[in-house]
Amino acid sequence: MKKYRFLGSPAWIGWFLLACAAAVVCLYLAQWQMSRNDHLVAENAKITGNYDAPAYRESEGLPLFEHYDDARTWHPVELRGTYMPEDTVLIRNRPHDGRVGYDVLVPLRTNDGTVVAVDRGWIPTDNSANGMPSEVPAPPAGTVTVTARLKPSEGIVDRGAPEGQAASIDLPALTDRWGEQLATGGYGELLSEDPAAASTPQAGERPEVAYGPHLSYSMQWYAFAVLVFVAYAYSARQHVKNEEWDRAYAAEVERRLARYYDAEGNYIGDMDESLVIRQLQMADDMPAHLKSLYRPKRTRASSAPSNEDEEDALLDALEAQHRS
């Protein structure tokens, strides 16, 4: 293991610490992608388990609008009460089938006095310049049985809205309009009304069950965390190989110099000394990626070239240099 002592040098310690830092970043990104995947899995489970489930009775479902349970999102709830159409609020900038329009939010006063916000559906903007809807379908009058799917209150959006409109379904903000009886935990997305209205806004689209690429991205980041250390180990191994090649190259140069110079540095060769000097200078001055071609090839002991083969090769190289 002596040949790996260089790993204790400041430079290689720095490279190792850099590899550790890169691995930590990769692990963080892997966990982040995994958390996004877990969130999608949970959301998909709500859709598949709740969307088409039998509706809760009012006694069971009504409290969920005030004390919202996220695990019940999309679950239908049956309510009885009376719409308050004079307090209708249009929720701006709602896309549907590639168009922009409004969600029609109408308060429903239930039989026990609790007010529940019901999103009756989507209406398009008018073609006029002001972008307002041409008509807002009215809800049925009198006592009505409403089946709506549970959805949580939306957050505050930093955008203004004209009178009678809102930028988001922020239920706590709507208490100023609809009173303290408004349930502020969640609202209902209309599924059906009995009796039915003469005209109804377009129903919301069924949410898509999709998992996305987050799981595969997470696996890739975990793999990158491992590959960082694989690259570090590969670089260390290549460093050892390069040092071994350099030592072998230096030994080969010294061995060849010994053929032409004695211990005092006197030339003792039988050919023009300038050719020998030129050959050594060319090998010494060439780029590293070309110099490696002059390094001795590592071969098995059984196939090692003889001294005669090496001498013939050297003479061939000198003759080629002389002819050029």
Enumerate the H helices of the chain as residue ranges.
Answer: 10-50, 58-66, 171-178, 214-260, 273-285, 288-291, 307-323
pTM for this predicted structure: 0.65
Buried b (16+ CB within 10 A) or exposed e, 3-13: eeeebeeeebe
Q: Domain extents for the chain? A: 2-49, 52-194, 230-323
Task: Return the pLDDT at 222.
Answer: 96
The C-alpha atoms of residue 188 and residue 107 are separated, in whole angstroms, by 10
CATH T-level assignment (fold) for domain 52-194: OB fold (Dihydrolipoamide Acetyltransferase, E2P) (2.40.50)
Task: Return the pLDDT at 244.
Answer: 86
End-to-end Cα, the chain, rounded Å: 46
Task: Return the pLDDT at 300.
Answer: 46
Could you list the pLDDT tens digit for every one of the 324 residues in the chain? 788 888 999 999 999 999 999 999 999 999 999 999 999 999 999 999 999 999 999 999 999 999 999 999 999 999 999 999 999 999 988 888 888 899 999 999 998 899 999 999 999 887 664 567 778 899 999 999 999 999 999 988 878 787 888 989 999 999 988 988 999 999 999 999 999 998 889 988 888 888 889 999 999 999 999 999 999 999 999 999 888 887 887 787 777 777 777 777 787 877 887 877 777 666 666 555 555 545 445 444 444 455 555 555 555 655 555 555
Backbone φ and ψ for 52, nearest 5 degrees, come out as -105, 15
| 203 close to 190: Cβ distance less than 8 angstroms | yes
| 221 close to 33: Cβ distance less than 8 angstroms | yes
The C-alpha atoms of residue 209 and residue 205 are separated, in whole angstroms, by 12
Query: Which of helix, strand or coil describes residue 91?
Result: strand
Task: Return the pLDDT at 302.
Answer: 45
| 23 close to 260: Cβ distance less than 8 angstroms | no
